Chain A
Amino acid sequence: MQTLNIKIGGQAGQGLVSIGTILIRAATQEGWHLFAHQDYESRIRGGHNFIQIRLADRPVASWENDLDVLVALDEATITRELGEVKPGGVVIYDPDVLGQDAKTLVEKPNCIGLPFARIAEELGQPKIMANSVAAGAVWALLSEEIAVLHETLALMFAEKGEAIVQGNQSVASAGFARVRELTRERAVPAKPQGSEPRLVLRGNDALPLGALAAGVKFMSAYPMTPSTGVTEFISEHGRIARVIMEQAEDEIAAINMAIGASFAGVRAMTATSGGGFALMTEALSFAGSAEIPIVVIDAMRPGPSTGLPTRTEQGDLRCAVAMSFGDFPRAVLAPGDVEEAFYLMVHAFNLAEEYQMPVVVLSDQHLADSYVTVPPFDLSRIEIKRGRVVSCAEAGPDYLRYRCTDDGISPRLYPGFGDGLVVTAGDEHGEDGHLIEDAETRRRMMEKRMAKQRLVEENALDPVLCGADEPELMLIGFGSTKGAVAEAVEILNSQGCRAQGVHLPQVFPLPKSLAALLQKPARKFIVEANYSGQLEDLIASRFAWKPDGSIRRYDGRPMNAKFILDRLPGGVCHGS
């Protein structure tokens, strides 16, 4: 596999995302597959942020440490990141922003000084076009032709008018020409094969897209990083998709508003992150008791408390599985990549409505903010299952909202859709929805609700496997570690170690089929991004089982193959 790692570092507000987006779009157009992750601080200006783009000639799902290209928009990028550049890698920096010490660091071959803003200004363009100068400079290391980059700029700036398009193209050409000239000796990578159309998406695009495909009609949310992208996506596209996104005064209001809409008969959701998710505890329990479908996206970031607001972790798993008071059925899904995020959102709404219960979809900052190229989605795969709903004609005046059935699922009636009255309560209630106090009804209602949990477990999504079928080493994870685990497994197999990756797209209830995998005669490691081993606990308590080891990351940075491989004990594989 041919891969190329490009890191662009600078301060917040310097246009990293713009440069990244230009390069991501142009590289995809050129035929590259890519994975790009973002690292940013909890501030709007200043600090040190980066976007790192990994280009490859086949699909990639994770990132690599060693850099082929480092672009420095600020001094910190040089002082902090220079050591990550591979021997022979290229550094492009802006000499106008470097102090004397940093300048000394870049006095070596393959370091190219390029005053991005000055070049833009010298060409009579505004400073802000420094972004396109930098994009042109990087492009010179990828291609001998600038045409595709020009096309991308034309598309991206079309709305701003011809003058802006031409301005960006001219400064990009200047950056491109300067670097081409200085690196003439250096071969550009072979142009990747294949030019089939692709989608470039972040998790925060794929999740709301999946919700829209599922027919979500109502969302309410309170902004919280890193879930805000989902909220803004639905707000932005709501009018085309005919969906209401109503910003709430707090997360408590957000989930209750969505529950109200769902009760009335529409697909409804909310999105939040750890602290906001915790505020939804009470409402989750209400939805469980009142049997109202609701989908909650929790985009995890490192806790406890406010933690590291802009970074990544998988520390809300225990909370998602166990949060709230009393027993009620639920499901927790954990998509591992954007494709899974899209289709699992549809599944989440189906589960919520079929079993009339809350469904939590766990995302995290790494999934939420990382761009990846994927084949276009197949909308014909989408099946909307709204569960048991009584039609207007069937709903006689004797309708009972909580009618006891063999499987515990009571047919829903949307209020106002028949003569029958829909009576719903979070207080314990009888079949008619009115409040009760007697022990017998309470017992029956509890058993009716929890019968649904058994069904959810029986239909739980199976683990997604990769690598060797009869492994000697097994790596088990969930959510956004999927790509890192898959790549680690691939590397291990290439070294002669029979490794298998087990990704769990559904973490609660765990699929029964996991039991058979756990009994395979392999050394098993749980890979997860939290301190205490929340997935490990969950599997251990469900299957009375212990892994051979654990690989955990809790510094707020995303997992990758190197992180996993570095932590596998020596001799763990006969082949290695």
Chain B
Amino acid sequence: MAADQRFEVRQETAWCPGCGNFGIVRAVAKALNGLGLDPSQVLFVSGIGQAGKLPHYVSGNVLNTLHGRTLPTATGAKLANGDLTVIAVGGDGDGYAEGGNHFLHAIRKNVNITYIVHDNQVFGLTKGQASPRSDPGMVTGTTPLGVYNEPFNPLATAMTLNAGFVARGYAGDQEHLARIIQAAIQHEGFALVDVLQPCVTFNRINTYQWYRDRVYDLDQEEAYDRTDRQAAWKKSWEWGERIPIGIFYQVKRPTLADHYSDILDVPLVRQELDPGAVEEILSEFRIG
């Protein structure tokens, strides 16, 4: 198969017609095809929710784990076999609510994976409850008087923890999203791609039209410096008439694997198991 067509998108899915997820899965396939990778070298790790199903709809290895547990699972897999391109996928409920603590610490560890968050500001699979990303006032099944919690800002949080790659895409702009995902995969370290994703069934506020009227590409801003953390952090709070998309912040930091470079000269999974290797350690406990 031609190198640029190895990643195929499955036709049959369990998503609603018109779902923003279709734009994301096509952008993922496009990005991977553009990088010339083989599906056997790519591992998707996903949680639970509509987004968690994405790996089942595109070519690649799949570890479809528990709700919210995507990032630690992906971290373990990447440390065990650094040759794999690891892409973690989940929704905003999965990643920012159930997996919120893991989100913070995966960034701190700077494990070399890409994390794509389908950010539709609502719990889709459980039928439309408020998520940490829901805008205040949004009426949902669990917030009949409207959402009252402060929305979570994943980009600002990631930058506060000095994540090396912080970006936002829009499911309605596949070309742009594919470019961002490629840059994220090529980035050495933890790369966050938060994707604005219309939920056509449960979110009647943040619709395709709503986003089309607001999103703009940061690259079109002259003098935007993606290595300036303060400026990028400030930019991440722009959410209203205009909503920026693109790479907000990028900086190179030592990765988790760098810390273990002496052990990881050969990927763990390719190292021999040798019971005799314990002899040297046992000798510390030997007397006489």
Partners in one complex: yes
Residues of chain A having any CB pair with chain B under 8 Å:
25, 28-29, 31, 195-201, 205, 209, 212-215, 217-218, 220, 237-244, 246, 248-250, 252-254, 256-268, 282-283, 286, 290, 346, 373, 376-377, 379, 382, 384, 386, 414-416, 418-427, 433-435
Contact partner of A244 (CB less than 8 A), chosen from B63, B65, B260, is: B260
Q: Which residues of A contact B280 (CB under 8 A)?
A: 240
Stretch at the interface among B171-179, B203-211, B213-221, B265-273: B265-273
User: Any chain A CB within 8 A of the CB of B74?
Assistant: yes
| Contact yes or no, A198 B286, CB < 8 A | yes
Q: CA of A212 to CA of B282 in the docked complex: distance in angstroms?
A: 10
| Contact yes or no, B76 A25, CB < 8 A | no
Given A215-B275, A252-B72, A379-B276, A435-B263 contact (CB < 8 Å): no
User: Any chain A CB within 8 A of the CB of B56?
Assistant: yes
| Contact yes or no, B278 A379, CB < 8 A | yes
| Contact yes or no, B101 A253, CB < 8 A | yes
Residues of chain B having any CB pair with chain A under 8 Å:
14, 39-41, 43, 45, 48, 53, 55-56, 59-66, 69, 71-81, 83-84, 101-102, 104-105, 109, 256, 260, 262-264, 268-269, 271, 273-282, 285-288
| Contact yes or no, A260 B64, CB < 8 A | no
| Contact yes or no, A256 B61, CB < 8 A | no
Q: Which residues of B contact A215 (CB under 8 A)?
A: 273-275
Chain B contact residues: helix, strand, loop or mixed: helix
Q: CA of A201 to CA of B73 in the docked complex: distance in angstroms?
A: 33
Contact partner of B40 (CB less than 8 A), chosen from A246, A258, A419, is: A419
Q: Which residues of B contact A252 (CB under 8 A)?
A: 69, 72, 102
Q: Which residues of B contact A423 (CB under 8 A)?
A: 55-56, 61-62, 64
15 more CB-based (< 8 A) A-B contacts, given A29-B288, A257-B75: A200-B287, A209-B281, A212-B278, A240-B277, A242-B277, A256-B72, A257-B76, A260-B73, A261-B76, A377-B282, A379-B278, A420-B40, A427-B48, A427-B64, A434-B56
CB distance from B195 to the nearest CB of A (A): 22
Q: CA of A267 to CA of B76 in the docked complex: distance in angstroms?
A: 11
CB distance from A397 to the nearest CB of B (A): 9
Q: Which residues of A contact B278 (CB under 8 A)?
A: 209, 212-213, 241, 379
Q: Which residues of A contact B60 (CB under 8 A)?
A: 421
Q: CA of A161 to CA of B130 in the docked complex: distance in angstroms?
A: 64
CB distance from B249 to the nearest CB of A (A): 23
Given A379-B275, A416-B83, A249-B102 contact (CB < 8 Å): yes
| Contact yes or no, A259 B62, CB < 8 A | no
| Contact yes or no, B66 A263, CB < 8 A | no
Q: CA of A217 to CA of B266 in the docked complex: distance in angstroms?
A: 12
Which 6 A-B pairs rank lowest in CB-CB distance, beginning with the nearest? A260-B76, A215-B273, A264-B80, A261-B76, A257-B76, A425-B64
Tell which of B45, B60, B275 has the most Cβ of chain A within 10 Å.
B275
| Contact yes or no, A263 B274, CB < 8 A | no
| Contact yes or no, A256 B41, CB < 8 A | no
Given A198-B287, A421-B59, A256-B262 contact (CB < 8 Å): no
Given A421-B39, A421-B60, A241-B281 contact (CB < 8 Å): yes
Select from chain B the residue with minimum beta-carbon distance to A238.
B263
Q: Which residues of B contact A249 (CB under 8 A)?
A: 101-102, 104-105
17 pairs from A and B in contact (CB 8 Å cutoff): A29-B288, A242-B263, A249-B101, A250-B101, A253-B71, A257-B76, A260-B65, A260-B73, A266-B80, A267-B273, A283-B69, A386-B273, A416-B83, A421-B39, A421-B59, A423-B64, A425-B56
